[in-house]
Chains A and B, each alone.
Chain A
Amino acid sequence: MELTPPCWVDIALPSFARNIAHACATLAQDARLMVAVKSDAYGHGEREIAATALKSGAHSLAVLDIDTGVRLRPHVGEAMMLAWLLSPQDDFAAAEKSRIDLGISGMWQLEKIERDVASGPLAIHLKIDTGLHRNGALPADWLALCEAAKNLEGKGVVHIRGIWSHLSDTSLEENVESLRRFHAAVAEARSVGVNPELLHIAASAAATDLPESRLDLVRVGISVYGVSPFDDRSAQSMGFHPVMSPKAFITQVDSEAQTARCGMGYGEGLLTLPQDTGWVSLHGTAVPLHHVDVDHCVLRIPEGTVVAVGDVVTLWGDPDNGSPSAEDWALWAGTIGDEVVSSLSARVERRVIRD
């Protein structure tokens, strides 16, 4: 029996499309929806996911870096794309050419835009740090950044399309405080003539629990991939359905030892687990995981379960079909679902399911 490839990943596009429509209706409501497609759309395959998001009601795409935006532009029409992880080595002229909006946190980025941009205006979103302390300008540096951006807008080099920030999602109280700082920063920007069309700060978690954080645009990531951003609520309970489901053939059975191997391991991007942690689904039957190795997992065959070479196991997927969820795998590996799905190797074939 030819068991090649030994594993693959099913991507259920209709579930993703439904999640986008659900996010528009429940998370964004009157606001626009921006969908994060960074990190190869959280391991789901950026091209199909980006196009499907826009067809299903999303307004724009969060692409993280200029390279991702450049790759996606031919497939997404004129949809707005925002890149904000900017390195001094990046080619800002490429952003202009592919009409990618840049999230601006510091003066060096404005100076580089002025040097690199050929004709302009390049659309930018000024970023204020409201407490997360990653990128975003500190409040002490904010006014100077706004004034410099306004000056460049006057010269036709940039168009200040937005003001934005990232929340820490530490607690509702911390998010409320960050939102207050955000509004103060917006008022300060307006006082020097900055007049943005789009204010945005909320991602999945805040849009759910703090409706006043939705503003003009809500950025969603993990939720629309059907994985919960919360520890205490499942994605299903919020109305989102899993999109990704990695599958592997049973490649060996050892009836004496009551073990079997399936053809996917950490070399294919599975996160390693402590010995004898977790399980996979064999046609809805739970089969305990013994060990995650480089190119296979060792499974312990339960008493009374018949396993044959060529059977297909589901590593995670839709709990309604008896599979573990990506959140389950995250719990076993001591991490979050985002890392579980985005770690899957690009070498593993994605099989897009369209209906």
Chain B
Amino acid sequence: MRRARIHTQALTEHLASLCAENPTIDLRANAYGVGIEKCSQIARDAGFIAAVVSKDSSEGCVLSVTELSPTTVTQWWDNTALLSFEADIISLKRVGANTSVSYGYEYTTTAETTLALVGAGFSDGVPRTASPGAQMSVTGEVFPIAGRIAMDQCVLDVGDAALSVGDIATIWGANPSLVEWAAWSSRPTGALMSHLAPRVERQWS
């Protein structure tokens, strides 16, 4: 299970605050992965009158389409309250010290610990270049990624935390933030958002 929960009210309020200055919004790349149809509706409700769109993702846009200009509102997605990228924990393992993890054995545990397998990887939109360094949170606590991020999974070193299979890991959202992931991966936030794969289910709440 991988999902992107989009918080409609927070998005509407955030866009309304940005719209006060400029009535045109950057919705290229399918509204940066959020989805052009719903995102353009919310932008319209927030007061925007026009959008910049990618040529192949304008279908469903309810705003009038315009060209990019210096006054276009950009980077509106850089807000921790708008979207949570999440996946579930599919396995937990208690291992000893000196246990190596993932391809290339680039991470080795220093003490007895628990390894949590998260079912999302770089083909879902978790940038491979973010490890080492990147973190995710589970039940409010932040844990480091252990070893390389693989195509469809990655491992967290969760220490002695009492977690269960099925618990939800927040990849980015309130904590850690998309902006932190941009720093860890050396990729712009817009690229991280656009690379969220279609199989990451968009859930609007």
The residues of A with any CB-CB pair to B shorter than 8 Å are 4-6, 38-39, 42-43, 64, 67, 85-90, 105-106, 108, 129, 131-135, 138, 168-170, 174, 263, 265-269, 271-272, 294-295, 333-336, 338-339, 342-343, 345-349
Q: CA–CA, A321 to B188, complex, Å?
A: 32
Interface residues on B, range: 35 or more
Q: CA–CA, A52 to B117, complex, Å?
A: 32
Shortest CB-to-CB span from B179 to chain A, Å, is 15
B90 touches A39 (CB 8 A): no
Cβ of B186 under 8 Å from chain A = yes
CB neighbours of B104 from chain A (8 A) = 168-170
Q: Interface majority SS on B: helix, strand, loop or mixed? A: mixed
B194 touches A339 (CB 8 A): no
B122 touches A133 (CB 8 A): no
Q: CA–CA, A39 to B198, complex, Å?
A: 10
- Stretch in B15-23, B38-46, B53-61 with 4+ CB within 8 Å of A: B53-61
Cβ of B112 under 8 Å from chain A = no
> 1/0 contact trace for B146-168 toward A, CB 8 Å?
00001111010000000001100
Q: CA–CA, A132 to B147, complex, Å?
A: 10
**Which residue of B56, B90, B129, B197 is within 8 Å of A85 (Cβ)?**
B90
Q: CA–CA, A85 to B88, complex, Å?
A: 11
A343 touches B95 (CB 8 A): no
Known: A87-B88, A135-B117. A168 touches B129 (CB 8 A): no
**Which residue of A105, A138, A347 is within 8 Å of B95 (Cβ)?**
A138
CB neighbours of B122 from chain A (8 A) = 335, 338-339, 342-343
**Of all chain B residues, which has the CB nearest A138?**
B93
Q: CA–CA, A179 to B198, complex, Å?
A: 36
Q: CA–CA, A268 to B188, complex, Å?
A: 14
CB neighbours of A5 from chain B (8 A) = 55-56
Shortest CB-to-CB span from B45 to chain A, Å, is 24
A342 touches B123 (CB 8 A): yes
Known: A6-B56, A169-B103. A294 touches B190 (CB 8 A): yes
B102 touches A266 (CB 8 A): no
CB neighbours of B186 from chain A (8 A) = 334
